[in-house]
Amino acid sequence: MSDKSTQDRIKDLIVEKVLVGVNPEEISNDSELVSELGLDSIQIIGLIGGLEEEFDIVLEDDDLDFELFSTINNLAKLVDGKLA
Amino acid sequence: MNTEKLTFNTIHGDFIAAADKYPENQAIWSESGTITYSELNKLSDSFANWLLKNNRAPGKRTAMILPKSIETVICLMGSLKAGNTYVPLGDTWPANRLNAIIKNGDFGLIVTNKENPEIDFCGCEVLQLESNEWQEAQQLADSNELKSVELLATDIAYILYTSGSTGIPKGVCVSHQAAQFFPAWAKQEFNVDPSHKIASIAPFTFDLSTFDLFTGLSSGGCLYLVPEKFKMFPSRLSGFLEKHEITTIYAVPSTLSLLLLNGNLDKRDMSHFKTVLFAGEVFPIAMCRQFREYLPKDVQYYNLYGPTETNVCTYFDASKVPDGDDNLPIGLPLPGTTSFIDAGPDDEEGSGELCIYGPTLMSGYWGKPNEGASYWTSLPDEPNKMAYRTGDITYQDKQGNWIYKGRADKMVKIWGYRVELGEIESGMLKHQDIEQCAVVKRDKQGNLGEELVAFVIPSASGQASGLNHTELFKHCKTYLPHFMVPSHIYELDSFPLNNSGKVDRLKLENTAQDYVLQNS
């Protein structure tokens, strides 16, 4: 098990699999994933797959909401809700 | 004698006719509500009355900085009825881009729901949605003031802005005569009727939307405005298509590919589909074959082709996918359209730049004289008729179908949007930390279309502080719409040069592609 916070694990995931090459220190938990970091549909799909794998969860259609996917903080809430 | 009036239809004429014929049919579904044909007709009459009453029509341009909504369609149809040109501008475009357009747009009115202090309206009249004025503009339907506005075939119906290589977007002006041709043809060719439920995905700033608006709303069928939040998630989008029993979709192949690969189509009921239209980029033939496996056997597929300057000008019936791995042809010219290769064949296939002359052709670019412009060329046998040079390299197969090979210039397509690399570079260079910049495209992992990446050489200040990529992305977004923002930025000390001493873009493209391979 990882001791890292959900936020940090999501950030690692984004840096390793979605926005390769971006310095993790440049991404904050409140950064807007789409409007600020520029994730497109394909990167979002990569992120969905990465989250399911990393946290061993299944994201249903209702989880795929623009709001929930807007920032790392919101994603962490989604993931923690799934794990609870 | 002016015979023009007798022989042409306006772009909105068939909508008015449909509203008479199918008044109670649902015209538009949106997340916030629905509207019937008669209501839409009435409210757009009202808006037209308001424009005329307030001296903002006819013969002026109504710009709209609005999300896709029923209100936007009311504005757009009302503007046309009042004899104005409608000019949709993206509500997600950065203020800098909007300002550059507004400055030169000479708009009679700008309708918006935004109170963005960064947008400089340059003294134009602004109508805020939800304002008292807007309410008033919705209540003039029954006043008998809507005098019939006489339009000429050559009057401009709409102006759509596309990427310009110098950094300033170009406004493509399309006359009523040209604008109505494709929607009217499409209605017949694809048998669009009141039973059709059309998922409208493309923004109104994109010419794909002219099918939704003017074929869809002339058929008695219903337009379903796909909520923005679903476009990001293919499985939500496929859920939307299933729930509303969508029959018809006109989308860019990137959207169809995403639906195929991540839309859970095997779990969706797609049995109501009748027509799938696509345009804007190449639909990989293998994807096209796979996509069809999830839809009923009798669905019709068409590959449509045409830059904004010609709207759709060639079409290919892809209901039977040809054997082999070659690109789907872009097909045969629309009726009345002349298509030819400019400057003789330059290889054994006889390929060259495709030129188009015909009923769908634009009038010109806003604010730019047509005379002598390099994008016009005369017809081979009729030197007084000017055809549009598309910049697309094509050749013809034995059946006369055109096949697309590539571009003659630096323009690329991202999500079907035209992108001039020069516009991105000039935007990036406005940042003090960048000395030099070259943007190239590369294939994404897994055949999922193309993406843009930027190579930059930092300036002295950039070297001193180190480049902050997040800040550079932010900077890009203040000048460029989202689809033009590079997905990756790579720093170099110097650019590779070719024999003529210019930046070797081919080499940069290869380097960018290598980075993808290393990551996979």
What CA–CA distance (Å, rounded) separates B67 from B89? 9
Q: Say yes or no to pLDDT of B121 above 70.
A: yes
**Token reading at B217:** 């709303």
Q: Which ipTM did the prediction report?
A: 0.74
- Which among A20, A40, A48 has the least Cβ separation from residue B519? A20
* B214-236 mean pLDDT: 93
10 Å Cβ neighbour count for A24? 12
Both tokens assigned to B493: 């000390």
CA distance B85 to B128: 19
Instruction: With CA atoms as reference, report the closest residue to B150 among B54, B16, B58, B271.
Output: B58
Substitution target in B92, B428, B473, B515 with the highest count of A β-carbons within 10 Å is B473
pLDDT-derived band at B151, boundaries 50, 70, 90: very high
B299 near B290, Cβ under 8 Å?
no
Could you give the dihedral angle defined by the CA atoms of residues B362, B363, B368 and B373, in that order, rounded to the nearest 10 degrees?
Answer: 80
Give A1→chain B minimum CA distance, Å.
26
Say whether A64 and B262 touch across the interface (CB within 8 A): no
Where residue B4 falls among pLDDT bands split at 50, 70, 90? very low
Q: What does the alpha-carbon distance between residue B13 and residue A76 come to, in Å, rounded to a whole number?
A: 52
CA angle A56/A70/A51 to nearest 5° reads 15
Q: Specify the pLDDT at position B416.
A: 83
The string of pLDDT tens digits covering residues B324-340 is 888 899 999 999 999 99
Across B241-250, B263-272, B425-434, B494-503, least confident range: B494-503
Q: Indicate if the pLDDT at residue B447 is higher than 70.
A: no
Report yes or no: A26 at the B interface, CB cutoff 8 Å: yes
pTM: 0.88
Q: Which residues contact B330 (CB under 8 A, 6 or more apart)?
A: B303, B304, B305, B314, B315, B316, B394, B401, B402, B403, B404
Render each residue's pLDDT in chain A as its tens digit; 84 residues: 557 899 999 998 888 777 766 677 778 888 888 777 777 777 888 888 889 989 999 888 888 888 888 899 999 999 999 888
CA distance A4 to chain B (A): 24
**Cβ atoms of residues B341 and B355 within 8 Å:** yes
Contact B31, B226 (CB under 8 A): no
The DSSP string of B114-163 is ---TT---TT--EEETTSHHHHHHTS-SSSTT-PPPP--TTSEEEEEEE-
| Residue of B91, B456, B469 to mutate, testing the A interface (most A Cβ within 10 Å of its Cβ) | B469
Q: What is the mean pLDDT of chain B?
A: 90
SS3 string, B381-398, reads CCCCCEEEEEEEEEEECC
